[in-house]
Structure 1
Amino acid sequence: MTTQPLTAGRRRYAAAAMAGAVLYAVVDVVLHLLPPHYNPISDAESNLAVGPFGWIMNLNFLGRAAMTFCVIAAIGGTGPATGLRRTGSWLLAVGGVCSGVLAFFSADVHAAGASGLRVSTAEGTIHLYVASLGFLAALAAFVLLTLWIRTSPKLRNAYPAALAFTLLAGAGLASLGMTIGFAPELLGLAERICLVGILGWAFAVAAAIRRSAP
């Protein structure tokens, strides 16, 4: 009697996470086509939240937070509650909260023609630190949860994709750190590689959970 509602809930959360990952990516792309036309190669994604359509990006940050908690809910109803799953889920929750907080603290946008990160206000400083914490927490969560997936009978088939997206997110985050110091004109590209890893991991794992639910 209790298995069917749990299965249905897991499928709903997984489907919502998949839709959220796709919607986030689509909104990101659309915003780049709107004024003030930030450069996706050199400009940070957070710049999209500054400008006449910035409110849409702020809603997108909140949407990413909601998507993250849908992933956590779907994971929580799958397989045994091991230490890896619990710790990974808590770290992923930190990443989700950070994404939501970004909607309330705008980034500092550099002057036209400049590259890299510029922090000149308390609000921009909070945004930068929260964004950094969110990326690090999400990556740590992916490492732990991917190890958990490897040992989960229901999700073992998702391990290659989860590992690949974890490595992509890690490479993007490492590149992001290097671009800040050595190639600021490529900061936006590095950040978006990291985001592809994050969104791809969420979509792939949610899809596997949805398939595993009878």
Structure 2
Amino acid sequence: MPVSSRWPQTALAGIALFVMAAVALHLLRPELDPVHSQMSLYLIGPWGPLLQAAYVALSAAMVGLAWDARRSAPPASRSAAPLLMFVLGGVCLSITAYAWMDLPGVDASMEGLLHGITAQGAFLFTTTGLVLQALRLRHDPRWRRQARWLLPWAVACFGAIWVLALWRELPRGLAQKVVIASIVCWLAAMSLHMRRLARRG
């Protein structure tokens, strides 16, 4: 089936909203150290609702993108697995936005536990979705050239979350943001190519 321009455009809008909100929060919250402060800290306090909305927009963007990729794929490359991973990742990311993390020095809470579980789920499900989606794209003639670099990029994102989880000495804020940027850029690259395919008809 032909690719629709509506979903790639919507995905790019959601991605752009997330990027602008993340950059703006770093300027609006100078009291937070960008190297050591995780993104979750920017959800708490002034301007937190802006980043919460951006998380939800990013969740909707990647689910819509995955749905349209499956809808427009030829039967040989069509699979519900990437879509399922992106849906689970989007749900986890949206919950993460509204379940605050436990601040340092504060007793552990159920909300903090939920935040931690869903944050890890968002990373794991989304990067798994990247890998599965890139694998399916190899079977679509319209994507074979792009799949050559989208697949290793997706695998690198998947590996990066395990480095982030296991290498505790890394500066948490900076390392996490690098991983997030890699994932968001992958989604943007896929959205841009889908938009090109839609314009070609």
Residue number among 156, 177, 180 corresponding to 1:192 in the alignment: 177
Aligned to 2:123: 135
Counterparts of 1:100 and 1:57 in 2: how far apart (Å)?
A: 11
Q: Size of the alignment, in residue pairs?
A: 199
State the Cα deviation string for residues 160-182 of structure 1 (Å, max 9, x = none). 342243134224312311343xx
- Aligned residues: percent identity? 24
Query: Kindly tell me: are residues 98 and 124 of structure 1, through their superposed partners in 2, closer, same or farther at Cα, counting changes over 3 Å?
Result: same
Instruction: Give the C-alpha shift of residue 86 in structure 1.
Output: 1.3
Query: Kindly tell me: are residues 94 and 75 of structure 1, through their superposed partners in 2, closer, same or farther at Cα, counting changes over 3 Å?
Result: same
| Paired letter, 1:209 | M
| Paired letter, 1:142 | L
Query: Kindly tell me: are residues 119 and 148 of structure 1, through their superposed partners in 2, closer, same or farther at Cα, counting changes over 3 Å?
Result: farther
CA contact (8 A) 2:128 2:158 kept: no
The more displaced of 199-208 and 168-177 is 168-177
Query: Kindly tell me: are residues 126 and 83 of structure 1, through their superposed partners in 2, closer, same or farther at Cα, counting changes over 3 Å?
Result: farther
Query: Kindly tell me: are residues 46 and 84 of structure 1, through their superposed partners in 2, closer, same or farther at Cα, counting changes over 3 Å?
Result: farther
**Superposition RMSD in Å:** 2.1
Query: Kindly tell me: are residues 84 and 192 of structure 1, through their superposed partners in 2, closer, same or farther at Cα, counting changes over 3 Å?
Result: farther
Aligned to 1:206: 191
Pair 1:44-2:38 in alignment? yes
Query: Kindly tell me: are residues 164 and 31 of structure 1, through their superposed partners in 2, closer, same or farther at Cα, counting changes over 3 Å?
Result: farther
Counterparts of 1:156 and 1:15 in 2: how far apart (Å)?
A: 22
| Paired letter, 1:87 | A
Instruction: Give the C-alpha shift of residue 40 in structure 1.
Output: 2.4
CA contact (8 A) 1:11 1:74 kept: no
State the Cα deviation string for residues 48-78 of structure 1 (Å, max 9, x = none). 1011111111111111111112212321222
Pair 1:23-2:20 in alignment? no
- SS of residue in 2 equivalent to 1:85: coil
CA contact (8 A) 2:134 2:147 kept: yes
Residue number among 72, 86, 109 corresponding to 1:121 in the alignment: 109
State the Cα deviation string for residues 7-28 of structure 1 (Å, max 9, x = none). 4xx2110111122212211210
Counterparts of 1:93 and 1:202 in 2: how far apart (Å)?
A: 14
Instruction: Give the C-alpha shift of residue 35 in structure 1.
Output: 2.7
State the Cα deviation string for residues 81-100 of structure 1 (Å, max 9, x = none). 45763111111111011111
Aligned to 2:47: 53
Residue number among 27, 33, 42 corresponding to 2:27 in the alignment: 33
Query: Kindly tell me: are residues 46 and 37 of structure 1, through their superposed partners in 2, closer, same or farther at Cα, counting changes over 3 Å?
Result: same
Gaps of 5+ in 2: none
- SS of residue in 1 equivalent to 2:98: coil
Query: Kindly tell me: are residues 59 and 139 of structure 1, through their superposed partners in 2, closer, same or farther at Cα, counting changes over 3 Å?
Result: same
Query: Kindly tell me: are residues 121 and 84 of structure 1, through their superposed partners in 2, closer, same or farther at Cα, counting changes over 3 Å?
Result: farther
Query: Kindly tell me: are residues 124 and 133 of structure 1, through their superposed partners in 2, closer, same or farther at Cα, counting changes over 3 Å?
Result: same
Instruction: Give the C-alpha shift of residue 119 in structure 1.
Output: 7.2
Aligned to 1:93: 87
- SS of residue in 2 equivalent to 1:153: coil
